[in-house]
Structure 1
């Protein structure tokens, strides 16, 4: 072999040695990398992040504020029961009157004259009856004559009683102690029968009238305490109680009228003033969820729950009354259900869920949840 051939052969051997060393190093590095990958545990994909609350039934007493108006429950309209000219009418709107106090007097001259005539007729009929009785004892008068005399006396007595009643009707007195709210005639006016002259109201009958929903009515009753605020008198609330619950509901809004009376009627309270009444219902077992957990679509209201397998499930519900930031669930879920309250964006039926936090308790630590995840949840 020539010198040149020997040099080429040596160079080829050197190149093969370098390649072999490189391949060996690569295999060792691959083994090391493969060992590290085999030792690292596989990372499980995390579920959809949500916050939840566990539902439970609890006795709840609710407060309801209803607008209303002050009304006088006892109001009497006084009418003329006889015709005649008004001779006396000295009371005005706002005047307080006592029970039995004379309010109106009509002229009665004609009636008194008729009364005197009837009294004279009555006296004569009594004499005639006595005379016929004496004659009948001597058989000088028939029984028919005696019967006619008795009938005439009875008619005269009836006429006298009728005139006495009519004469009393010319004087109108207060049927109870109260306040004059209307004066519709003046002295000297000639009035006919059934003409309204005055309106008398009992100030102690002042009460608040409010309208209450049919959902609340089953949980209140007569005698329940209430508080009344009169806007015209400031922010003070006055103690009261439910006096009467009307038996019928309005077909327009399904509400019934409720009357509330004051324990002590405040100074300055007047009929027609706007009021706000606070009613407290009796404690009732209710299933409540946060209002934000309630969803709505074209099929109606529903909530998302986390089932036993940790998956999302859609539950249609029927709701009752709303209490502050919570709403009552009447149908659809039971006590103990885990209801989703946040994290609705991207949620779907059967999707795996991961609880980040519980609204009704301390945070639950999960390896995949971070504070930044909670802050970014819808």
Structure 2
């Protein structure tokens, strides 16, 4: 074999070249492997891997969702102004009545006689005062006597007015149109001044009252449209017609009232309802509520990774929550949200992030 190679010196040159090439390649590969093995621990030493998903803000209708209570537009409890016996029940409970209709009558007792006596007394006092005025013009009556007679006339008129009021109080009339809702007395009961007799409610329209947090009340204004959702799924449309000027001292929340038309006189007063109040459009991110966490101050927020591969915690405002997820505002327009491993990292920590499966 060597004799053959000696006869062909160009083969020896080719073999030597191949050996040199293989040696060089093996050295470069070894250096590359050594560099990789040296660099990888330096990059990953002490770093936590997290999965992220890129989220971009999109416009959505901001709304306040509040639990409220449906109330009658007006409700009054009518009480006795005089003592007497329940003489007549002029309407049944549940009746729809007009303003001014008599609902219940009390015994008049001697009140008609008191009115008649007062009218006679006023006539007598008026005649005496008139005669005294004529005599005074001729200086036949002193001015003091005239003043005394005029004073007695005024007293008699006041007593007559009181007697007429007492007689009028024997009939309990509706101060407004509504529904005769409750009755606390029965026929023949003796009642005293101040005793409750019946209640009258006006449900021609309804009001829904609720409490709104102090940080959210600034987004409301009178006349705002409001959707009222009942427990059975029915929806009514109303408008915000009252916002309290001062917060409740205990809850630090503000009372609001929503006016709702009720032309069909549906009996809804006393029911629970959910108020949906649109407060304008905002840019927000939709995410799973499970990704929300709390900082040391108790604020809701989310963790994400910045360009330097550091964990950032940003407080967010919870706009709405439903079975599909939560809408939050306060994040950068585009953010790499940590979807896996957020519980093992803290703000400012350096991490290695990788896209979650199925993310773009």
Scaled to the shorter chain, the TM-score interval is 0.7 to 0.9
Q: CA deviation at 1:283?
A: 1.8
Q: CA deviation at 1:235?
A: 2.6
Greater shift, 138-147 or 37-46, is seen at: 37-46
CA distance in 1, matches of 2:138, 2:294: 106
CA distance in 1, matches of 2:157, 2:175: 28
Residue 238 in structure 1 maps to residue 236 in structure 2: yes
Residues 305 and 76 (structure 1), Cα distance of their counterparts in 2 relative to 1, 3 Å cut? same
Give the TM-score taking structure 1 as reference length: 0.71
Match of residue 283 from structure 1: 281
Q: CA deviation at 1:282?
A: 1.5
Match of residue 5 from structure 2: none
Residues 114 and 352 (structure 1), Cα distance of their counterparts in 2 relative to 1, 3 Å cut? closer
CA distance in 1, matches of 2:315, 2:233: 37
Q: CA deviation at 1:108?
A: 2.2
Deviations 1:33-61 (A, max 9, x none): 334446779586698674343666x6542
Greater shift, 46-55 or 201-210, is seen at: 46-55
Match of residue 217 from structure 2: 217
Match of residue 315 from structure 1: 312
CA distance in 2, matches of 1:249, 1:204: 29
After TM superposition, the structure 1 = structure 2 runs for residues 116-135 of structure 1, keeping only pairs within 5 Å, are 116-135=116-135
Q: CA deviation at 1:206?
A: 2.0
Q: CA deviation at 1:104?
A: 2.3
Judge conservation of contact 1:182–1:198 (CA < 8 Å) in 2. yes
Match of residue 184 from structure 2: 184
1:31 to 9, 12, 20: 20
Residues 29 and 253 (structure 1), Cα distance of their counterparts in 2 relative to 1, 3 Å cut? farther
Judge conservation of contact 1:184–1:198 (CA < 8 Å) in 2. yes
Q: CA deviation at 1:63?
A: 3.8
**Unpaired segments of 5 or more residues in structure 2?**
1-12
Match of residue 54 from structure 2: 53
| 3-state SS in 2 of match to 1:317 | strand
Judge conservation of contact 1:302–1:314 (CA < 8 Å) in 2. no
| 3-state SS in 1 of match to 2:110 | helix
CA distance in 2, matches of 1:140, 1:189: 57
Residues 95 and 306 (structure 1), Cα distance of their counterparts in 2 relative to 1, 3 Å cut? same
Greater shift, 211-220 or 175-184, is seen at: 211-220
Greater shift, 266-275 or 72-81, is seen at: 266-275
Residue 83 in structure 1 maps to residue 83 in structure 2: yes
Match of residue 15 from structure 1: none
Match of residue 194 from structure 1: 194
CA distance in 1, matches of 2:25, 2:255: 79
Residues 354 and 36 (structure 1), Cα distance of their counterparts in 2 relative to 1, 3 Å cut? farther
Judge conservation of contact 1:50–1:343 (CA < 8 Å) in 2. yes
| 3-state SS in 2 of match to 1:349 | coil
CA distance in 1, matches of 2:199, 2:230: 25
Judge conservation of contact 2:87–2:107 (CA < 8 Å) in 1. yes
Match of residue 7 from structure 2: none
CA distance in 2, matches of 1:236, 1:253: 30
Deviations 1:118-154 (A, max 9, x none): 2222222233334434444554433333332222222
Q: How many pairs are equivalent?
A: 331
CA distance in 1, matches of 2:99, 2:126: 39
Judge conservation of contact 2:211–2:256 (CA < 8 Å) in 1. yes
